[in-house]
């Protein structure tokens, strides 16, 4: 997952205006402006207004219009459309929009928010190791073995065909047999071992320090600041 790590988003306070709010204001009040009474529709002054309130954001409220005029003029000349007026007429609208926006510059406050992700890390391992060991097995086996028994019989019991009158030496070989154990081994399956992985979830509390912006009003002895009834500031 995921990566996923603890990453607070870091932001700083900036000055900002809402262009759409200013555009609506000047469109609604344009006809009542002194320079508009000399002629010129809102569409002809649109670029002039836009140059004014966006320029105020770039220069800040501490820079007078006179000091920013050269830059604003250059910006207007590049941005104006085919119906735009010359700077001599347009600058009055630009100045009005610039000064209004400069007075209304707002400080945008930010705060850090934690983004907690997840990533997989090693938690160890399990080995299945098959080993071989030996054991002594005793199996009883009955084995047959031949042997001889010497027995003397009476003359009357001798078979007729076995009687001979010759006197000679003779050796008779009698083969004897016996059984011996023959060992062989066969492998047989006795079973198996299966390993299954299971996953469990747990909840952990992740703690981190985050920053939050606020505004502090610094007053001097000559400045009177009205308090906002909603915020108490």
pLDDT band, residue 113 (cuts 50/70/90): confident
Predicted pLDDT at 11? 41
The answer, yes or no, to whether residue 5 has pLDDT greater than 50, is no
* 215-220 mean pLDDT: 75
Could you give the C-alpha distances from 26 to 173, 198, 202, in angstroms and in order?
140, 66, 58
Q: Under a CB-based contact definition with an 8 Å cutoff, are residues 112 and 210 in contact?
A: yes
pLDDT band, residue 145 (cuts 50/70/90): very high
Q: Mean pLDDT across the chain, nearest whole number?
A: 81
The pLDDT tens digits of the residues spanning 53-92 come to: 888 888 765 688 888 899 999 999 988 887 888 999 999 9
Listed by start position, the domains of the chain span 18-104
Q: Computed from CA positions of residues 205, 206, 209, 212, in that sequence, does the dihedral angle turn out positive or negative?
A: negative
| Spatial separation of the C-alpha atoms in residues 54 and 58, rounded to whole Å | 7
Predicted pLDDT at 228? 53
Predicted pLDDT at 179? 92
Predicted pLDDT at 12? 41
The answer, yes or no, to whether residue 7 has pLDDT greater than 50, is no
Predicted pLDDT at 15? 52
pLDDT > 90 in the chain, percent = 29
The C-alpha torsion from 74 through 75 and 78 to 83, rounded to 10°, is -100
Radius of gyration of the chain (CA): 56
């Amino acid at each position: 997952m995921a990566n996923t790590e603890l990453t607070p988003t870091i932001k700083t306070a900036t000055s900002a205006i809402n262009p759409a709010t200013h555009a609506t204001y000047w469109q609604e009040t344009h006809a009542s402006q002194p320079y508009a009474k000399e002629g010129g529709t809102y569409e002809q002054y649109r670029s002039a207004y836009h140059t004014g309130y966006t320029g105020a954001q770039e220069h800040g409220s501490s820079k007078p219009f006179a000091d920013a005029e050269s830059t604003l003029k250059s910006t207007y000349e590049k941005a104006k459309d085919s119906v735009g007026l010359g700077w001599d007429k347009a600058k009055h609208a630009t100045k009005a929009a610039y000064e209004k926006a400069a007075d209304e510059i707002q400080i945008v406050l930010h705060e850090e928010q934690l983004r907690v992700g997840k990533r997989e890390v090693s938690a160890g391992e399990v080995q299945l190791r098959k080993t071989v060991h030996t054991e002594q097995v005793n199996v009883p086996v009955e084995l047959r073995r031949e042997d001889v028994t010497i027995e003397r019989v009476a003359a009357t019991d001798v078979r007729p065909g076995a009687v001979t009158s010759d006197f000679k030496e003779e050796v008779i070989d009698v083969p004897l047999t016996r059984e011996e154990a023959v060992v062989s081994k066969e492998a047989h399956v006795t079973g198996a071992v299966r390993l299954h992985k299971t996953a469990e979830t747990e909840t952990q509390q992740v703690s981190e320090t985050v920053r939050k912006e606020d505004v502090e009003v610094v007053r001097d002895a000559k400045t009177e600041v009205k308090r906002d009834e909603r915020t108490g500031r």
